[in-house]
Amino acid sequence: MYNYMLTIQYDGTRYKGWQIQGNTEQTIQGKLEAVISRLVGHHVELHGSGRTDAGVHALGQVANVKLPDEVDPAVFLEQMNYYLPEDIAVIALAPVPDRFHARLNATSKTYCYRIWNSSIPNVLERKFLTQFPPPLDIIAMRQAANDLIGTHDFRSFCGLKRFKKSTVRTLFSIEIEKTGSALTLQFCGDGFLMRMVRILTGTLLEVGTGLRSPESMMNVLTAEDRAAAGPAVPPQGLALVRVDYE
């Protein structure tokens, strides 16, 4: 078997997320597996770096797949893109060692949440951002974000109520930038819990509007209770930017 790493871009608008669920065809993984299986002549399984929720996009999702024969990466890439729908594309394909696994070997992931901080709509980019008009105190948001950096139990920011596994994760950085009305929050960490980026963003927005103090963030963390954090912001503003490996 030959192991290949795929870098994948998608507009998640019309999908039920990355992962195949039951007999639901409308998933990114499902679409990709169907196309690759058709090209190689039998069913293949794709291993993604992790799930993305319904409506979430990706600029650089990573997956690996084992194929029975060696392929010419440039040719196979073109063939995949020919059969894929216009909202999914494989932007890179490379042979990797047999032991490479897109999820198990990932060392960090970067997500970006985009907010349009204006009462005037942004028509052209509307499917890739969330409009949020109230004035925001960016300095306070950055201060609150700083307290989240590091290794913590992020149970308060986990969207899954009864999550049995460890909810300890390490956040390497949170970068909050504003250019005109465009606000971006970029999160880099070793892994993220279900809806964690969206709940972190929702809580930071509450700091930005003055609903919470920047200092309260430590209390949210130590509460280890979903009710202590803010609401999850909508999925369409979120994109998985990149996945890194050693």
Residue numbers of the site for a second copy (CB under 8 A)? 9-11, 57, 59, 77-78, 81, 86-89, 91, 119-124, 126, 128
53 catalytic residue (yes or no): yes
Supply φ then ψ for residue 74, to 5 degrees: -65, -40
Q: How far is CA 6 from CA 51, 68, 87, 222, in A?
A: 15, 16, 16, 38
- Provide the minimum distance between the beta carbon of 12 and a second copy in the complex, in angstroms, as a whole number: 10
Buried b (16+ CB within 10 A) or exposed e, 47-73: bbbbbbbbbbbbebbbbbbebeeebee
- Provide the minimum distance between the beta carbon of 222 and a second copy in the complex, in angstroms, as a whole number: 38
Asked if residues 238 and 175 have their Cβ atoms less than 8 Å apart, the reply is no
Choice between 27 and 167, CB closer to a second copy: 27
Identify the active-site residue in 11, 53, 153, 225. 53
- Provide the minimum distance between the beta carbon of 85 and a second copy in the complex, in angstroms, as a whole number: 10
Choice between 117 and 156, CB closer to a second copy: 117
Choice between 68 and 85, CB closer to a second copy: 85
Q: What does the block give as tokens for 195?
A: 């809806």
| Residue labelled with tokens 């700083």 | 146
| Residue labelled with tokens 């190689």 | 40
- Provide the minimum distance between the beta carbon of 221 and a second copy in the complex, in angstroms, as a whole number: 33
Q: Which residues are catalytic?
A: 53
